[in-house]
Structure 1
Amino acid sequence: MSESQNIEYKESWRDEYLKWICGFANAQGGRIYIGINDKQEIVGVADSKRLMEDIPNKIVNYLGIVADVNLLHSNEDKEFIEIVVEPSNVPIAYHGQYHYRSGSTKQEMKGTALQQFILKKMGRSWDDTTNDSAKLDDIDRNAIDYFLRRAINAQRIAPSLNGEDTHNVLHNLRLLSEDGHLKNAAILLFGKEPLRFFPGVEFHIGRFGMNEADLIFQDVVEGNILQMADKVVALLRSKYLISPIHYEGMQRIEPLEIPEDALREMIYNSLVHKLYVGVPIQMWVFNDHIELWNEGKLPDAITIDTLVEKHSSHPRNQLVASVFYKAGFIESWGRGIRKINEAFDKAGLERPVFKESEGGLLVTFGRNYPTMKDAVSNIQSDDGINDGINDGINDGINDGINFTQTEKLILKAISANKNITYVDLMNDLSISEATVTRAFRNFKTNGLIIRQGANKKGYWQITEKGKNVIS
């Protein structure tokens, strides 16, 4: 047998191998063979009688666990020792350090990873811990009412609970400790300002052009995570995504370019499984695809392959998942990925790709719009000002882009002075900042200009496509 997640070979015994035993006990258990080298050749051990006494005693004294230590013999009558370590249901430390067997390596757990590990061994999740600094006044009653409406509509709580007292609602959802203090989940789900308590309770969205270095605009969604998905979808619908119009009979239909149910499922999954002591959820919206990432590794029993197949549910935040289920947002059977794939299949779209990345889960999916590979079609200014400009869009097929006269004047000004500033353009052309901002978004999205160099010392370069517009 080769070395694996559960097997380790050592030529001779050293006390430092107690760390490996600690790692096996904290993980899935395993076996250590003393007297076998890395080539799996039995070299034997000296003084086996002493080792058979020392090793079990040291395991008990230093780790507080009992392991089976067996003396075995090879065909050549060489003695070697087998140490069988069972997984422990409590955290095991060696000299105050917690080790964990992951793959074929041993790792020392620290910080957030250690906190999550200890909670898991105790049968609890981070969202189930008490937050002594939060009070009932920190709970938003509007969020409670929102939950009650959704849960009653989903038929997952009794209609008689409508209007129930805030304290009773939290108690029934197991969001209060035995002494009445709020748990972390209560603040995440219903808090007025969860960001006061947890810096990672944000959803970042960025609109990018050709690559990640070409950020056009961005937004940050804050607030409780129960209503966050609604806010994110509304923002995506109004500012980032396309809703192509078609008619069914006399009825005007404006579905999102991406199946909304699938989009919500992906957002719900990111909210439920996020590691909230980490960084915010991030979404990158590109011309032809979208990437969504949340921090938090997959559970030990789940891989990317099993994620897209039938599997049991393993929520990182158990109380959050329970409330999302009662609100009708998610199912409790680990069917989320299957539902997403089915929705994309039904829409005739390529399925999303799931990947473990930077300590979290990254999902990438294409955009369903005929011209999306070369251009974005509905970037909307958030300045609330209408300057009477009919922003032209490059359809990637027909090069006859209809830019306004003002936009062409701006391009000519950039062509004449590559170091020109927004202020110069506003003064020289007597136009508003909103007009300049919107024009630059159009130019960058359609590949008419490129920023060369740093922000302060850089300059604008007109591309061949841009030169064609002003020629």
Structure 2
Amino acid sequence: MRKAAEFKLDEFLGETTLYDKKLTLEERKPKSWLKSISAFANGDGGILFFGISDEDELRGLQDLKRASEKISELIKERMDPIPKVSLKIYRRDGKDFIIVNVAAGMETPYYYVGDGSRIAFIRIGNESVPAGAVDLKRLVMKGSKATFDSLLSQYRLEDLDFSKLRATYRLRTGKKITVDDFISFGLADDNHVLTNAGVLLADESPMRHSRLFCTRWLGLDKASGLMEAWDDKEYSGSLLSLLQNGEEFIKNNTKMRWKKIADGRIDMPDYPERAALECLVNALIHRDYMELGSEVHIDIFDNRMEIYSPGGMFDGSLVQNLDTDLVASKRRNPIIADIFSRMKYMERRGSGFKKIKGDYQYAYNYRAELAPKFKSTATSFFVTLYNLNYNVPIEKVVFGEEKVDFEPKKVAFGEEKVDFEPEKVAFGEEKVDFEPKKVAFGEEKVDFEPEKVNFEVLLEQAHFSNVTKQRMRALYDSIGSSNIFTRKTILEIMNLSPTYASNLISKMKQIGIIEIVTGQGKGRYKFKNFDG
């Protein structure tokens, strides 16, 4: 019998994934507690307490000897296979309790057999629920020491191309990947039959539900309608293609600011690059590929980026209830994870949660309220990364590669601001020649147009990709502020789709650089006059 000092029962009160409680043995309805034995054995183990009410009252049990014997008897009679359990007696304040410790099973699924039924249970949150068809497949794989990515497919190595994998592996490791490597890495068996991992890494992967959906939304929330999505892409193919396309989409739809300092410059990205890459890698590698009809999503809003992956935590826990600094790395798809580790996309050991949070903590403009957030359900995993530059004022205007202060009627020369007059620029006590629309910065003359500078200020403050800004500049330079244009004009000037041209107009209206022209028909616009 354990002493009170050895076991702090109060620490186990409440409801969690790892333990459950029953007030009485309920001999006539043993399914009420045997389902928890089944769920614990099918998962990562757990503890079942007898003698505690649903309200966490420590009531205790009567006739401990009979209760202990009955628990052992019912487990042997109603469980198949019989899980590994240990019973202990605990006494506190003159009351006796039984503690049933259930080990994580190695022969899953563990079924409850009785009442004419045979049911395997799993733990979701603080409940033990019947396993569905897909859950049963997972339990069968676990019991046979298999994972989804290790299962053999219907394809052979010679049936598919792997140019992306070969090129990326050579680039990131300096080595060629050989046929023997395919076998030793678990991408194919000795007969050259591909595993699911090998199929997922093929150039044109026939696993159709391995896809990536990316959207850059207008504003802070999803909305219906054409104009609410600035950029929308759907990708399929090799996992490496999905990763690289996802990286490119994030890069094109976020911004990188920078700030000059005495000995160089400080980069100020909207999102720390390594944190975003780590989240995307984890979403693709650790997703549950048995969840059909779903795919990885990247949704970028003005103030945040959300990455969704099918499949919750591998051990069934809820990440929001855990200390993410202490979560051990558990891999749902170890073969895929291994090949990505070999290519240095991820570490072989350690928690990605800690790395993601660390990258944020060391980033410029970081504040505690911008810490990444992680959330999971039984079938989903979500990461939210916050835009470090959202609502942060821009104090500089870009001139080529250099940022300089700008004030109306003032031009910055180095650290000193001097008066600006038409035809003349005052430099110290001396008047120097001024070329129309040119101002000297050191030895270099750069364009200075009041309208263009004001246009650039508005453009710089917008949360657009660099590609979008370049297209707006090109359109402004081509049309000017005095000419009327339509969507058709944009299509004639630029090689864009009608949808993208409409989105470009929507974005320019959003930041106020164009205005609608009335009285000349619908869909006519002109750039605003930014002079002064």
Establish whether TM, by shorter chain, passes 0.5. yes
Q: Aligned partners of 1:306 and 1:247: how far apart in 2?
A: 40
1:415 aligns with: none
2:216 aligns with: 207
What secondary structure does 2:39 align onto?
A: helix
Q: Aligned partners of 1:33 and 1:252: how far apart in 2?
A: 63
1:270 aligns with: 283
What secondary structure does 1:97 align onto?
A: strand
Measured after TM superposition, the shift of residue 197 of structure 1 is: 2.1
> Of 480, 490, 506, which aligns to 1:441?
506
> Of 93, 115, 133, which aligns to 1:111?
133
What secondary structure does 2:197 align onto?
A: helix
2:50 aligns with: 33
1:240 aligns with 2:223: no
1:172 aligns with 2:189: no
> 8 Å contact 1:36–1:80 — kept in the other structure?
no
**Aligned AA (2:194):** L
1:294 aligns with 2:309: yes
1:134 aligns with 2:134: no
Sort the Cα spacing of 1:445 and 1:322 in 2 relative to 1 into closer, same or farther, 3 A.
farther
Measured after TM superposition, the shift of residue 142 of structure 1 is: 0.8
2:414 aligns with: none
> 8 Å contact 2:211–2:237 — kept in the other structure?
yes
Matches within 5 A, 1:234-383: 234-237=248-251, 239-244=252-257, 257-278=270-291, 279-300=294-315, 303-304=319-320, 308-309=324-325, 311-334=327-350, 336-350=352-366, 352-357=371-376, 359-368=380-389, 375-378=462-465, 380=467
Measured after TM superposition, the shift of residue 315 of structure 1 is: 2.2
What is the root-mean-square deviation of aligned Cα atoms in Å?
A: 4.7
Sort the Cα spacing of 1:469 and 1:82 in 2 relative to 1 into closer, same or farther, 3 A.
same
**Aligned AA (2:184):** N
Deviation per residue, 1:261-284 (Å, 9 max, x gap): 333222222222222233211111
Q: Aligned partners of 1:325 and 1:123: how far apart in 2?
A: 22
What secondary structure does 2:122 align onto?
A: strand
Q: Aligned partners of 1:345 and 1:316: how far apart in 2?
A: 28
Q: Aligned partners of 2:343 and 2:162: how far apart in 1?
A: 16
Q: Aligned partners of 1:197 and 1:62: how far apart in 2?
A: 40
The size of the alignment, in residue pairs, is: 413
Q: Aligned partners of 1:9 and 1:247: how far apart in 2?
A: 64
Measured after TM superposition, the shift of residue 348 of structure 1 is: 0.8
What secondary structure does 1:389 align onto?
A: helix
Measured after TM superposition, the shift of residue 363 of structure 1 is: 2.5
> Of 173, 186, 190, which aligns to 1:152?
173
> 8 Å contact 1:226–1:324 — kept in the other structure?
no
1:192 aligns with 2:192: no
1:90 aligns with: 107
Q: Aligned partners of 1:228 and 1:86: how far apart in 2?
A: 39
> 8 Å contact 2:256–2:270 — kept in the other structure?
yes
2:397 aligns with: none
> 8 Å contact 1:90–1:122 — kept in the other structure?
yes
1:65 aligns with 2:74: no
The structure whose Rg is larger is 2
Task: Note the residue ranges of structure 1 that are not aligned, 5 or more in a row.
Answer: 154-158, 393-401, 411-421, 450-459, 461-465
> 8 Å contact 2:279–2:383 — kept in the other structure?
no
> Of 206, 227, 245, which aligns to 1:231?
245
> 8 Å contact 2:320–2:376 — kept in the other structure?
no
What secondary structure does 2:194 align onto?
A: coil
1:406 aligns with: 484
Sort the Cα spacing of 1:103 and 1:344 in 2 relative to 1 into closer, same or farther, 3 A.
closer
% identity of equivalent residues: 17
1:221 aligns with: 235
Q: Aligned partners of 1:36 and 1:287: how far apart in 2?
A: 48
What secondary structure does 2:237 align onto?
A: coil
> 8 Å contact 2:189–2:195 — kept in the other structure?
yes
What secondary structure does 1:227 align onto?
A: helix
1:156 aligns with: none
Task: Note the residue ranges of structure 2 that are not aligned, 5 or more in a row.
Answer: 1-8, 395-458, 515-521
What secondary structure does 1:274 align onto?
A: coil
What secondary structure does 2:374 align onto?
A: strand
Q: Aligned partners of 1:10 and 1:197: how far apart in 2?
A: 49
